[in-house]
Amino acid sequence: MLIMVNNLEIISQKRTSIVATIGPASESPEMIAKMLVAGVNVIRINASHNSEPDSVRQVVQTVRKASIDLQRWVSIFLDLQGPKIRVGVFENGSAVLKKGQVYRLVNNPTMKGDSAQAHVSQIVISDCQVGDPVYIDDGKLSLTVIEKNPDSIVCRVTHGGIIRDKKGVNLPKTELKSGSLTDKDRIDLNLAIENDLDYVALSFVQTAKDIDDLRKSLDSRGGHGIRVIAKIERPQAMENIAAIIDASDAVMVARGDLGIEIGIDHVPSAQKRIIYECNRRIKPVIVATHMLESLITENTATRAEVSDVANAIYDRCDAVMLSAETAAGHDPIHAVETMRDICITTERNIEYLRRDNTSMPRFVFATNHRSAATSIVKAADQIAQENKARAIMVFTSTGQTPLIASKLNTPFPVISVTDNPATMRRLALYRGVIPLMLSKRFANIHRWRDMIALGIAHAEACGYITQGDVLVITAGIPINQAGGINSIRIQTVGEE
């Protein structure tokens, strides 16, 4: 079990977080524990497939128990379905569409489709305009709107094929005026609040207003502490990316629908841009979808998949995500171990490039995100380099300072000491950050030296540091008041 492992080995290994999706293949207590041991830092619950209250509650309780038993702090987030649009059912389960034919999409839930027409939700009919493209079944079929009526749209098929029951519909050029938060999402938010989840992910975000609407819905129900992840999967989101990042607490590059909506050839550059902007704006970023897809059924990942994961790490994402690989794959543990090994190998090469001083410079934050805190963290990083420190230790209430250190691309592990369990769990998403829960509340500690002594003692007991290690320590003084960091100290473990 991980609790028996020497954490001095862990601290020098994987820095990128791994997100694993829970599903039938991985929901048992044994599998969840094994995934945490293998290197999972964040658990994803997909509300598109699991929004039954008892099931979600069981998953959360199982993860939290395993986290405590294994002394591995783990974040949990609920991935909201969002406005997922689908066609209805067909007379014979499917129909054939031929290129050039006219095809009608009608809002009539009781009808069964055929080769002339199919049911879609009213959102398509209301928001689509003449000339808009309509993609069906992950883009396997494409149509163009040629006529708009109150209860239907008439399309011309531009790429034909077989259309099947309940396949997804994408509208890349259409602004969805109803917003990203659906009635189902509002119901599912109760699951996040009742189970004290750490994050919720909003699907098909278009503007910063979508994030604001979700926050208002959370706040009105008492979910003030739940953080928001914006899923980027629409062209409209790319047009508003800076404002969306600023409005969110974290971002996910959701490459499945994003590839359909902007074209797969644009996904690599979009991914790089999103990661770059998140790092400049000091926000965690997850890269998701099809990362190790072949491991759903196979025992070995493809070279292209391994390169895909590695390139996301080179771009400095905070986390890489497994979806069906762990939710429904034949060997979820192997998928996690493969992802972990790619992370470790890639990060070792990053450190080589850093030492060679030819690449991997420290990051430059966006002007409006620079502050006294970013200056102090940069100074701590420089002091750590000059004094050959083992780690940077940060005392934090909200988690913002360790996030800054993570985004600075410091080569040093960031041991983040907090007295807040919610902050502790959220830290698990951040790249290169090691969460450490203090046994005593900050408010009950009256001297900085006492707080430092407690933090060092706890970190040493966990195996993160040892006698003689040099630490660079940052904190805010007075220590029992909320606010930014304002102090730096060099401390050798074992010395007063």
- Catalytic residue numbers, as ranges: 44, 86, 231, 289
Measure the CA–CA gap between 285 and 272, rounded to whole angstroms.
Answer: 11
Measure the CA–CA gap between 300 and 303, rounded to whole angstroms.
Answer: 9
Q: Could you give the angle at the alpha carbon of 373 between the alpha carbons of 348 and 450, nearest 5°?
A: 90
- Is residue 337 within 8 A of residue 38, CB to CB? The reply is yes
HEC profile of 91-143: CCCEEEECCCCEEEEECCCCCCECCCEEECCHHHHHHCCCCCEEEECCCCEEE
DSSP run (H or E) holding 325 = helix 324-327
DSSP per residue, 368-432: GG--HHHHHHHHHHHHHHHTT-SEEEEE-SSSHHHHHHHHTT-SS-EEEEES-HHHHHHGGGSTT
- Is residue 63 within 8 A of residue 40, CB to CB? The reply is no
Q: Which two tokens stand for residue 440?
A: 């005593």
Measure the CA–CA gap between 370 and 364, rounded to whole angstroms.
Answer: 9
CB count within 10 Å of CB 154 equals 17
CB count within 10 Å of CB 156 equals 15
- Is residue 188 within 8 A of residue 203, CB to CB? The reply is no
Q: Which two tokens stand for residue 72?
A: 């591995």
CA torsion sign for 107, 113, 118, 121 is positive
Strands 414-418 and 391-395: parallel
Q: Could you give the angle at the alpha carbon of 234 between the alpha carbons of 228 and 237, nearest 5°?
A: 60
Return the closest-CA partner of residue 390 out of 456, 485, 479. 456
- Is residue 484 within 8 A of residue 373, CB to CB? The reply is yes
